[in-house]
Amino acid sequence: MEPRAGVSKQDIRGQIWDYMEAQNLADFPRPVHHRIPNFKGASRAAEHFPRLQAFKMARTVKVNPDAPQKNARFFVLNSKKTLLVPTPRLRTGLFNKITPPPGATKDILRKCATSQGVRNYSTPVGLDSRVLVDLVVVGSVAVSEKGWRIGKGEGYADLEYAMMVSMGAVSQGTPVVTVVHDCQVVDIPETLLEEHDLTVDYILTPTRVIATGCERPKPTGIVWSKISCEMMGRMPVLRSLRCREERAGKDVTLRDTRRPLPSLESGSVQGEDVPSCTVYVGNLPRDARVSELKRALSARGAAPSRLTWQGPQRRAFLHYREPAEAWQAISRLQGFCLGANTAKVALARQQGASGPAGGRAGEPHPDP
Protein backbone atom coordinates (compact mmCIF):
# COMPACT_ATOMS: atom_id res chain seq x y z
CA MET A 1 0.00 0.00 0.00
CA GLU A 2 1.50 3.33 -1.08
CA PRO A 3 0.28 6.78 0.00
CA ARG A 4 -1.15 9.21 -2.51
CA ALA A 5 1.00 12.03 -3.83
CA GLY A 6 0.90 15.36 -2.03
CA VAL A 7 -0.18 13.88 1.28
CA SER A 8 0.31 15.05 4.86
CA LYS A 9 1.28 12.96 7.87
CA GLN A 10 -2.36 12.80 8.89
CA ASP A 11 -3.34 11.60 5.41
CA ILE A 12 -0.86 8.72 5.73
CA ARG A 13 -2.11 7.85 9.20
CA GLY A 14 -5.67 7.80 7.92
CA GLN A 15 -4.80 5.54 4.99
CA ILE A 16 -3.00 3.06 7.26
CA TRP A 17 -5.77 3.02 9.86
CA ASP A 18 -8.53 2.67 7.26
CA TYR A 19 -6.70 -0.14 5.45
CA MET A 20 -6.01 -2.11 8.62
CA GLU A 21 -9.63 -1.83 9.69
CA ALA A 22 -10.96 -2.79 6.25
CA GLN A 23 -8.62 -5.81 6.04
CA ASN A 24 -9.18 -6.86 9.68
CA LEU A 25 -5.43 -6.73 10.38
CA ALA A 26 -5.62 -5.69 14.03
CA ASP A 27 -6.50 -7.22 17.37
CA PHE A 28 -8.03 -5.46 20.39
CA PRO A 29 -8.29 -2.51 20.93
CA ARG A 30 -10.36 -1.57 17.90
CA PRO A 31 -10.86 0.54 15.94
CA VAL A 32 -7.19 1.28 15.35
CA HIS A 33 -7.75 4.94 14.54
CA HIS A 34 -5.73 7.32 16.73
CA ARG A 35 -3.73 4.40 18.15
CA ILE A 36 -0.48 2.56 17.58
CA PRO A 37 -2.17 -0.44 15.90
CA ASN A 38 -2.07 -3.72 17.81
CA PHE A 39 -1.58 -5.60 14.56
CA LYS A 40 -2.07 -9.32 14.01
CA GLY A 41 1.34 -10.96 13.87
CA ALA A 42 2.95 -8.58 16.40
CA SER A 43 4.32 -11.50 18.42
CA ARG A 44 5.87 -13.01 15.29
CA ALA A 45 7.42 -9.70 14.30
CA ALA A 46 8.95 -9.31 17.79
CA GLU A 47 10.66 -12.71 17.47
CA HIS A 48 13.26 -10.99 15.28
CA PHE A 49 14.15 -8.67 18.15
CA PRO A 50 16.48 -10.88 20.24
CA ARG A 51 18.36 -11.87 17.07
CA LEU A 52 19.51 -8.31 16.41
CA GLN A 53 23.14 -7.68 17.28
CA ALA A 54 22.04 -4.40 18.86
CA PHE A 55 19.79 -6.38 21.22
CA LYS A 56 22.52 -8.88 22.12
CA MET A 57 24.90 -6.05 23.06
CA ALA A 58 22.36 -3.97 24.98
CA ARG A 59 22.12 -3.95 28.76
CA THR A 60 19.34 -1.38 29.20
CA VAL A 61 16.43 -1.21 26.75
CA LYS A 62 13.60 1.30 26.60
CA VAL A 63 10.38 -0.09 25.08
CA ASN A 64 7.17 1.87 24.62
CA PRO A 65 4.10 0.64 26.54
CA ASP A 66 1.82 -0.11 23.57
CA ALA A 67 0.26 -3.54 23.07
CA PRO A 68 2.15 -4.58 19.90
CA GLN A 69 5.47 -4.23 21.78
CA LYS A 70 4.43 -6.64 24.56
CA ASN A 71 6.64 -9.45 23.23
CA ALA A 72 9.58 -7.08 22.82
CA ARG A 73 9.24 -6.22 26.51
CA PHE A 74 9.12 -9.93 27.38
CA PHE A 75 12.32 -10.67 25.45
CA VAL A 76 14.13 -7.91 27.33
CA LEU A 77 13.06 -9.33 30.69
CA ASN A 78 13.70 -12.93 29.67
CA SER A 79 17.25 -11.99 28.65
CA LYS A 80 17.79 -10.45 32.12
CA LYS A 81 18.32 -6.99 30.70
CA THR A 82 17.03 -3.82 32.32
CA LEU A 83 13.63 -2.83 30.93
CA LEU A 84 12.53 0.80 31.01
CA VAL A 85 9.00 1.80 29.98
CA PRO A 86 7.86 5.43 29.61
CA THR A 87 5.17 6.54 32.04
CA PRO A 88 1.72 6.95 30.43
CA ARG A 89 1.62 10.31 28.64
CA LEU A 90 4.66 11.35 30.72
CA ARG A 91 2.36 12.61 33.48
CA THR A 92 4.33 11.26 36.45
CA GLY A 93 7.89 11.18 35.12
CA LEU A 94 9.85 9.78 32.20
CA PHE A 95 10.65 6.12 32.91
CA ASN A 96 9.55 3.23 35.05
CA LYS A 97 11.94 0.33 35.59
CA ILE A 98 10.18 -3.03 35.42
CA THR A 99 11.44 -5.30 38.19
CA PRO A 100 10.02 -8.87 38.12
CA PRO A 101 9.71 -10.75 41.41
CA PRO A 102 12.70 -12.94 42.38
CA GLY A 103 12.71 -16.30 40.62
CA ALA A 104 10.06 -15.23 38.12
CA THR A 105 9.09 -17.92 35.61
CA LYS A 106 8.53 -17.18 31.91
CA ASP A 107 4.80 -17.01 32.60
CA ILE A 108 5.40 -14.37 35.27
CA LEU A 109 7.73 -12.47 32.94
CA ARG A 110 5.02 -12.47 30.28
CA LYS A 111 2.63 -10.97 32.82
CA CYS A 112 5.24 -8.34 33.72
CA ALA A 113 5.41 -7.40 30.04
CA THR A 114 1.66 -6.66 29.84
CA SER A 115 0.22 -3.22 30.53
CA GLN A 116 -1.04 -4.47 33.90
CA GLY A 117 2.36 -5.95 34.71
CA VAL A 118 4.06 -2.69 33.82
CA ARG A 119 1.85 -0.99 36.42
CA ASN A 120 2.32 -3.66 39.09
CA TYR A 121 6.07 -4.25 38.84
CA SER A 122 7.42 -0.79 38.10
CA THR A 123 9.51 1.66 40.07
CA PRO A 124 10.12 5.26 38.95
CA VAL A 125 13.50 6.23 37.52
CA GLY A 126 14.42 9.81 38.42
CA LEU A 127 16.21 12.36 36.29
CA ASP A 128 19.27 12.07 38.51
CA SER A 129 19.62 8.32 38.03
CA ARG A 130 22.28 8.74 35.29
CA VAL A 131 20.71 5.86 33.35
CA LEU A 132 22.24 4.94 29.98
CA VAL A 133 19.88 3.44 27.41
CA ASP A 134 21.53 1.11 24.88
CA LEU A 135 18.52 0.39 22.66
CA VAL A 136 15.17 2.12 22.06
CA VAL A 137 11.94 0.51 20.80
CA VAL A 138 9.09 2.74 19.61
CA GLY A 139 5.68 2.12 18.10
CA SER A 140 4.71 3.53 14.72
CA VAL A 141 1.65 4.07 12.56
CA ALA A 142 3.75 4.25 9.39
CA VAL A 143 7.43 3.88 8.61
CA SER A 144 9.51 3.91 5.45
CA GLU A 145 12.41 1.67 4.49
CA LYS A 146 14.59 4.79 4.70
CA GLY A 147 13.80 5.07 8.40
CA TRP A 148 11.29 7.92 8.30
CA ARG A 149 8.64 7.38 10.97
CA ILE A 150 5.11 8.66 11.63
CA GLY A 151 3.48 8.09 15.03
CA LYS A 152 -0.14 8.54 16.03
CA GLY A 153 0.23 12.33 16.06
CA GLU A 154 0.62 13.14 19.75
CA GLY A 155 4.42 13.38 19.66
CA TYR A 156 5.17 11.31 22.75
CA ALA A 157 7.83 9.04 21.20
CA ASP A 158 9.65 12.05 19.73
CA LEU A 159 9.44 13.90 23.05
CA GLU A 160 10.55 10.85 25.08
CA TYR A 161 13.64 10.53 22.90
CA ALA A 162 14.40 14.25 23.09
CA MET A 163 14.08 14.10 26.87
CA MET A 164 16.46 11.14 26.98
CA VAL A 165 18.96 13.18 24.96
CA SER A 166 18.58 16.09 27.38
CA MET A 167 19.28 13.89 30.39
CA GLY A 168 22.24 12.19 28.65
CA ALA A 169 20.59 8.76 28.45
CA VAL A 170 21.01 8.31 24.67
CA SER A 171 23.29 9.55 21.90
CA GLN A 172 23.18 9.74 18.10
CA GLY A 173 24.58 6.20 18.03
CA THR A 174 21.81 4.64 20.12
CA PRO A 175 19.83 2.30 17.80
CA VAL A 176 16.07 2.79 17.46
CA VAL A 177 13.79 -0.13 16.51
CA THR A 178 10.12 -0.20 15.55
CA VAL A 179 7.79 -3.21 15.28
CA VAL A 180 5.00 -2.93 12.67
CA HIS A 181 2.82 -4.85 10.24
CA ASP A 182 4.11 -5.16 6.68
CA CYS A 183 1.33 -2.87 5.44
CA GLN A 184 2.66 -0.10 7.68
CA VAL A 185 5.91 0.07 5.69
CA VAL A 186 5.23 2.72 3.04
CA ASP A 187 6.99 5.52 1.19
CA ILE A 188 7.04 8.72 3.25
CA PRO A 189 8.18 11.99 1.64
CA GLU A 190 11.20 13.38 3.46
CA THR A 191 9.63 16.82 3.14
CA LEU A 192 7.15 15.80 5.85
CA LEU A 193 9.91 15.37 8.43
CA GLU A 194 10.68 18.05 11.00
CA GLU A 195 13.70 18.56 13.24
CA HIS A 196 12.00 16.93 16.23
CA ASP A 197 10.93 13.77 14.32
CA LEU A 198 12.58 10.54 15.45
CA THR A 199 13.92 8.18 12.77
CA VAL A 200 14.46 4.42 13.11
CA ASP A 201 17.40 2.12 12.37
CA TYR A 202 15.57 -1.23 12.28
CA ILE A 203 12.05 -2.18 11.22
CA LEU A 204 10.69 -5.54 12.35
CA THR A 205 7.64 -6.97 10.59
CA PRO A 206 6.16 -10.49 10.65
CA THR A 207 8.08 -11.28 7.42
CA ARG A 208 11.12 -8.98 7.36
CA VAL A 209 13.94 -7.31 9.22
CA ILE A 210 14.80 -4.01 7.53
CA ALA A 211 18.06 -2.25 8.39
CA THR A 212 17.27 1.26 7.21
CA GLY A 213 20.81 2.64 7.17
CA CYS A 214 19.22 5.96 8.05
CA GLU A 215 21.78 8.78 8.17
CA ARG A 216 19.41 11.60 9.02
CA PRO A 217 20.43 12.99 12.43
CA LYS A 218 18.13 12.15 15.30
CA PRO A 219 16.79 14.93 17.54
CA THR A 220 19.56 16.57 19.56
CA GLY A 221 17.34 17.55 22.47
CA ILE A 222 14.05 19.17 23.31
CA VAL A 223 12.93 21.86 20.85
CA TRP A 224 11.39 24.17 23.43
CA SER A 225 9.81 26.40 20.81
CA LYS A 226 7.57 23.43 19.96
CA ILE A 227 6.45 22.98 23.57
CA SER A 228 3.26 24.66 24.74
CA CYS A 229 2.42 25.93 28.20
CA GLU A 230 -0.35 23.31 28.31
CA MET A 231 2.18 20.50 27.80
CA MET A 232 4.37 21.96 30.53
CA GLY A 233 1.39 21.90 32.86
CA ARG A 234 0.67 18.23 32.18
CA MET A 235 4.27 17.00 32.51
CA PRO A 236 6.19 17.94 35.68
CA VAL A 237 9.27 16.11 34.33
CA LEU A 238 9.31 18.53 31.40
CA ARG A 239 9.33 21.50 33.77
CA SER A 240 12.27 19.99 35.67
CA LEU A 241 14.25 19.45 32.47
CA ARG A 242 13.51 22.98 31.32
CA CYS A 243 14.77 24.36 34.61
CA ARG A 244 18.00 22.38 34.22
CA GLU A 245 18.56 23.55 30.67
CA GLU A 246 17.84 27.16 31.58
CA ARG A 247 20.50 26.95 34.30
CA ALA A 248 22.88 25.60 31.67
CA GLY A 249 22.31 28.74 29.61
CA LYS A 250 20.18 27.18 26.85
CA ASP A 251 17.31 28.92 25.09
CA VAL A 252 14.15 27.48 26.66
CA THR A 253 11.61 29.89 25.19
CA LEU A 254 8.25 28.16 24.82
CA ARG A 255 5.79 28.33 21.98
CA ASP A 256 3.56 31.37 22.56
CA THR A 257 0.09 29.93 23.02
CA ARG A 258 -1.38 33.00 24.75
CA ARG A 259 -2.48 30.60 27.48
CA PRO A 260 -1.04 30.06 30.96
CA LEU A 261 -0.18 26.72 32.43
CA PRO A 262 -3.23 24.96 33.86
CA SER A 263 -2.88 26.51 37.28
CA LEU A 264 -1.69 24.43 40.17
CA GLU A 265 -2.82 27.15 42.57
CA SER A 266 -4.63 29.74 40.54
CA GLY A 267 -6.57 32.76 41.71
CA SER A 268 -10.19 32.24 42.70
CA VAL A 269 -13.20 34.31 41.69
CA GLN A 270 -15.99 35.72 43.78
CA GLY A 271 -18.74 37.41 41.85
CA GLU A 272 -18.20 38.60 38.30
CA ASP A 273 -14.98 37.56 36.56
CA VAL A 274 -12.80 40.55 35.65
CA PRO A 275 -9.50 40.81 33.76
CA SER A 276 -6.45 40.60 36.00
CA CYS A 277 -3.12 42.31 35.63
CA THR A 278 -1.69 40.33 38.57
CA VAL A 279 0.29 37.10 38.50
CA TYR A 280 0.50 34.73 41.45
CA VAL A 281 3.88 33.10 42.15
CA GLY A 282 3.89 30.37 44.81
CA ASN A 283 6.01 27.54 46.21
CA LEU A 284 8.91 29.90 46.83
CA PRO A 285 11.77 28.67 49.03
CA ARG A 286 11.27 29.34 52.75
CA ASP A 287 14.50 31.34 52.88
CA ALA A 288 13.86 33.29 49.67
CA ARG A 289 14.45 37.06 49.71
CA VAL A 290 12.41 39.58 47.77
CA SER A 291 15.59 40.98 46.22
CA GLU A 292 16.48 37.51 44.93
CA LEU A 293 13.03 37.14 43.35
CA LYS A 294 13.24 40.58 41.72
CA ARG A 295 16.60 39.75 40.15
CA ALA A 296 15.29 36.43 38.83
CA LEU A 297 12.19 38.08 37.36
CA SER A 298 14.29 40.71 35.62
CA ALA A 299 16.51 38.00 34.15
CA ARG A 300 13.39 36.37 32.68
CA GLY A 301 12.13 39.65 31.25
CA ALA A 302 9.14 39.49 33.62
CA ALA A 303 9.84 42.38 36.00
CA PRO A 304 6.50 43.76 37.29
CA SER A 305 5.63 47.40 37.85
CA ARG A 306 4.92 46.51 41.49
CA LEU A 307 5.47 43.43 43.65
CA THR A 308 3.55 42.30 46.74
CA TRP A 309 5.81 40.08 48.85
CA GLN A 310 4.29 37.48 51.19
CA GLY A 311 7.40 35.60 52.27
CA PRO A 312 5.90 33.74 55.27
CA GLN A 313 3.29 32.29 52.90
CA ARG A 314 6.06 31.51 50.37
CA ARG A 315 4.34 33.53 47.66
CA ALA A 316 4.28 36.86 45.88
CA PHE A 317 1.95 38.79 43.60
CA LEU A 318 3.34 40.51 40.52
CA HIS A 319 1.37 43.53 39.36
CA TYR A 320 1.52 44.62 35.72
CA ARG A 321 0.00 47.62 33.96
CA GLU A 322 -1.98 45.65 31.37
CA PRO A 323 -3.49 42.13 31.19
CA ALA A 324 -1.36 41.46 28.11
CA GLU A 325 1.78 42.09 30.17
CA ALA A 326 0.58 39.62 32.80
CA TRP A 327 -0.04 36.93 30.15
CA GLN A 328 3.39 37.55 28.67
CA ALA A 329 4.97 37.19 32.11
CA ILE A 330 3.17 33.88 32.68
CA SER A 331 4.53 32.60 29.38
CA ARG A 332 8.08 33.66 30.32
CA LEU A 333 7.84 32.15 33.81
CA GLN A 334 6.84 28.60 32.85
CA GLY A 335 9.28 26.23 34.55
CA PHE A 336 10.60 29.17 36.63
CA CYS A 337 12.91 28.04 39.42
CA LEU A 338 14.05 29.94 42.48
CA GLY A 339 16.70 28.09 44.44
CA ALA A 340 15.79 24.40 44.32
CA ASN A 341 12.06 25.08 43.96
CA THR A 342 9.99 25.15 40.78
CA ALA A 343 7.55 27.98 41.33
CA LYS A 344 3.81 27.74 40.78
CA VAL A 345 2.74 30.48 38.39
CA ALA A 346 -0.83 31.46 37.52
CA LEU A 347 -3.00 34.44 36.73
CA ALA A 348 -4.44 35.88 39.95
CA ARG A 349 -8.14 36.69 39.82
CA GLN A 350 -9.57 39.77 41.42
CA GLN A 351 -12.05 39.31 44.25
CA GLY A 352 -15.01 41.56 43.56
CA ALA A 353 -16.97 43.70 45.96
CA SER A 354 -19.00 40.66 47.02
CA GLY A 355 -15.87 38.99 48.42
CA PRO A 356 -16.02 36.85 51.54
CA ALA A 357 -16.20 38.41 54.93
CA GLY A 358 -12.89 39.81 55.99
CA GLY A 359 -11.61 40.13 52.41
CA ARG A 360 -10.95 43.44 50.71
CA ALA A 361 -12.59 44.21 47.39
CA GLY A 362 -10.20 44.05 44.49
CA GLU A 363 -7.57 42.03 46.37
CA PRO A 364 -5.90 39.25 44.33
CA HIS A 365 -5.50 35.93 46.08
CA PRO A 366 -4.74 32.27 45.36
CA ASP A 367 -7.07 29.37 46.01
CA PRO A 368 -6.78 28.00 49.55
Does one domain contain both 47 and 73? yes
If one counts the domains in the chain, the total is: 3
Does one domain contain both 16 and 83? yes
Q: Is the dihedral of CA 167, 161, 177, 25 positive or negative?
A: positive
CA distance 214 to 193: 13
47 or 324, greater pLDDT? 47
- What number is the average pLDDT over the span 277-299? 91
pLDDT for position 162: 92
CA distance 159 to 13: 19
Residue 267 lies in a domain: no
pTM for the full predicted model = 0.70
Give the structural domain span for 343: 278-347
Residue 45 lies in a domain: yes
Does one domain contain both 127 and 47? yes
Give the domain CATH number at 51.
3.40.50.10420
Cβ–Cβ < 8 Å for 359, 351:
yes
DSSP string, 61-106: EEE--SGGGHHHHHHHHHTT-EEEEEPGGGSS-SEEEE-PPTT--H
Does one domain contain both 125 and 172? yes
Beta strands per DSSP E along 112-267? 122-125, 135-138, 142-143, 149-150, 176-179, 202-204, 209-211
pLDDT in tens, 102-149: 999 999 999 999 989 988 898 888 777 889 999 999 999 999 999 999
Cβ–Cβ < 8 Å for 202, 160:
no
Does one domain contain both 39 and 122? yes
Does one domain contain both 48 and 143? yes
Does one domain contain both 294 and 228? no
Cα distances (angstroms) measured from residue 230 to each of 87, 345, 349: 18, 13, 19
Residue 91: what residue type? R
Residue 303 lies in a domain: yes
237 pLDDT tier (thresholds 50, 70, 90): confident
pLDDT for position 360: 40
